[in-house]
Structure 1
């Protein structure tokens, strides 16, 4: 008797052989287009009635989707789409094709397509529970909670004990609770912030500070708002102290510095000494060395119509009025300067011009334009 050795593993080879056999090929594009046998076998799926073709495409789509291989999901969608295109005179079959295509798109997170297909599936078969389930799941991902809840309700009316729908309904309610809680927290934060902002401006006005809000054109609005968002007055409610953003403008060099949090009890001279002291000389003044603390004079710009904002005039009307330049005693606290007659806080920012006595000609020319 002839004996045989151990059996060899031939499954991989058989698998490859099947893939190269026309009847078992998954894709026509990989084959020889001139192979008549292949073409004839592949064309079988287009033979028969529209219902038979749609059924064949459905089965092929199911096979690709149930493989669990996401690389085959586009193929599954293509097969379901071809099944729908066959225009079978069978509403239940067409409903399944739409619902199955929705299942694939649900895995691919194409939620809008899921909703569109489920809508068609339910039109064709109002008893399609899976379509209600898949609609609800897509709506949950899109955080359209009320619609998701309705889909769960409609599906459970058809199958009250459907575990998948019952579990999904719980997830919908849990998500709804989380969103409501987040919404309430957001509204509370907004309310607290609004109340805090109101107390801030009441405190500023109680210090005798005149405030002006400008009208910003569209070309500068975004930049301006971004600046104000990061630079604005603040109130320490435990100490009742205010801090302001202070802008130092150097017209001689068309430059500026912003001090984000300038305490109202600090003097301008304190900051000037720090910014222009021997160890902090600005590079733009390195050549002339003109902006030493003892050389710096501080001014603010004002107008004769001091109560224009209070009388309802907008910033443009104030801006177009006659301007004046007022010299500041830099030894005074910021609070005292802000309360000076003629000073205005523009959009919450205190603006000051810094000139150097060492640049006497420029300072004279600059001051002259205000006379």
Structure 2
């Protein structure tokens, strides 16, 4: 029997095909043989320029020229009457909307509406048998596209655009329940409650049994109540704030305490002048006090010193232990003097006086809701006072 000797190469076909396991593999068809000269990536790139296999838009032939096949498909999309072209885009938009690809769907609805507004071609009249029927068809498609584009805008939270599309729908058909529902939803999202109520009620007039509109009506009523409650609480807070400020002003005036405000108000966090009962001018007054260790450029903020308390009481616990920066141990409760700047001068205040007694001195003012007291070691008080006098303006 004729055959190849053992160990010899297998026979190849006349087309010189490849061989696998001593079995001849037929050569590729001529139309595909060209692909053998390209890498896998190059083949994928070539296929991507064919409309059937496209995974991304490539409008060139790969060499910078026009992609003829793609342009032909684009042209097909605009074949037919305006209604047919628009209906094609509408259906593509519906397909994308079902997949919740709202941006893509909206783009197709844009194209559908643009097609309906485009000038009618002369040859198109030849295809139209009944002009009234054609116009009604266009109106129906436009209504659907506006309604569905409103949904896309609602889903993307473009509430103004949603309302504009609903308005366009309702100009074509004021009984379109979907348009009333989507308009009411957009208005609710913007807290435009009267507009939302109006749109919802108009939709229910058209279709009283519509469950979605009924639920939306309940949501609108609930949000209306929430907004009313929030506004009521805000007004109550504002009124209470005004009353607190008024009561505090009266309390300060009756106690003879002077205050002033500057443009350099310090950050006191939550510390503030206040009455224990904010609406009772006779209740205990408390004031933030800043202890200023001016010789060492350090400070301590006491957020609340009650009017009957003395400086000594606070110095006792603040200076009980050595301050971290007081290496010489100069700051002791009984080894410091206290001073307050008053107008163009300096006033020494008694540590054992209550705060209200200190503030009865007409020269002393509370500045920006804060009383600043300079705490100076007695051994350095004279030197510090001399330095201060040099900086103070001369008395007239």
User: Scaled by the length of structure 1, what TM-score is found?
Assistant: 0.75
Q: Which residue of 2 aligns with 1:193?
A: 241
- Alignment RMSD: 3.0
- Counterpart contact for 1:33–1:39, Cα < 8 Å: no
Q: CA deviation at 1:124?
A: 4.1
- Is 1:156 the counterpart of 2:204? The answer is yes
Deviation of 1:60 after TM superposition, in Å, equals 0.9
Displacement of 1:75: 1.5
Equivalent residue, structure 2, for 1:290: 330
Q: By how many angstroms is 1:176 displaced?
A: 0.5
Gaps of 5+ in 1: 1-19, 304-322
CA distance in 2, matches of 1:102, 1:58: 13
Indicate how the Cα distance of structure 1 residues 150 and 259 shifts in structure 2: closer, same or farther if over 3 A, else same.
Answer: same
Shift in Å at residue 143 of structure 1? 1.0
Match of 2:30 in 1: none
Partner of 1:365: 387
Q: CA 1:23 to 1:169, structure 2 compared with 1: closer, same or farther past 3 Å?
A: farther
Q: Superposed, which structure 2 residues align to 1:208-247 within 5 Å?
A: 208-214=256-262, 216=263, 224=265, 227=267, 230-237=270-277, 240-247=283-290
SS where residue 126 of structure 1 aligns? Answer: coil
State the match for 1:50 in structure 2. 82
Q: Distance in 2 between matches of 1:26 and 1:113?
A: 32
Larger Rg: 2
Aligned equivalents of 1:267, 1:282: Cα separation in 2: 24
Consecutive unaligned residues in structure 2, runs of 5 or more: 1-47, 118-134
Deviation sequence 1:73-123 (CA, Å, 0-9, x none)? 221122112212223473442232122111022223232332232233334
- TM-score, normalised to structure 2, is 0.71
Superposed counterparts of 1:179-328, under 5 Å: 179-214=227-262, 216=263, 224=265, 227=267, 230-237=270-277, 240-277=283-320, 279-283=321-325, 285-286=326-327, 288-303=328-343, 323-328=344-349
Conserved 8 A contact 2:322-2:329: no
- What is the rounded CA distance, in whole Å, between the counterparts of 1:368 and 1:41 in structure 2? 91
- 1:64 and 2:96 are equivalent in the alignment: yes
Instruction: Give the SS at the match of 1:115.
Output: helix
Hey, what does 1:177 align to over in structure 2? 225
Asked whether the equivalents of residues 85 and 115 of structure 2 are also in contact (C-alpha less than 8 Å), the reply is yes
Aligned twin of 1:13: none
Task: Name the structure where helix makes up a greater proportion of residues.
Answer: 1
Greater mean deviation of Cα atoms: 173-182 or 121-130: 121-130
1:351 is aligned to 2:343? no
SS class of match (1:249): strand
Offset at 1:38? 5.9
1:86 counterpart = 2:115: yes
Seen in structure 2, the aligned counterparts of structure 1 residues 23 and 196 have a Cα distance that, compared at 3 Å, is same
The SS at the match of 2:246 is helix
Counterpart of 1:165 (choices 213, 222, 232) is 213
Q: Distance in 1 between matches of 2:202 and 2:268?
A: 51
Name which of structure 1's ranges 336-345 and 190-199 shifts more when overlaid on structure 2.
190-199
SS of aligned partner of 1:48: coil
Paired residues of 1:250 and 1:256 also in contact (CA < 8 A): yes
CA contact (8 A) 1:53 1:83 kept: yes
Tell me the equivalent position of 1:333.
354
Between 1 and 2, higher relative CO (CA 8 Å, sep ≥ 6) is seen in 1
Task: Give the match's secondary structure for 2:57.
Answer: helix
Note the alpha carbon deviations across 1:6-40, whole angstroms, 9 max, x for none.
xxxxxxxxxxxxxx9x8988976289967765654
Secondary structure, counterpart of 1:291 in structure 2: coil
- Matches of 2:258 and 2:199 in 1, distance apart? 58
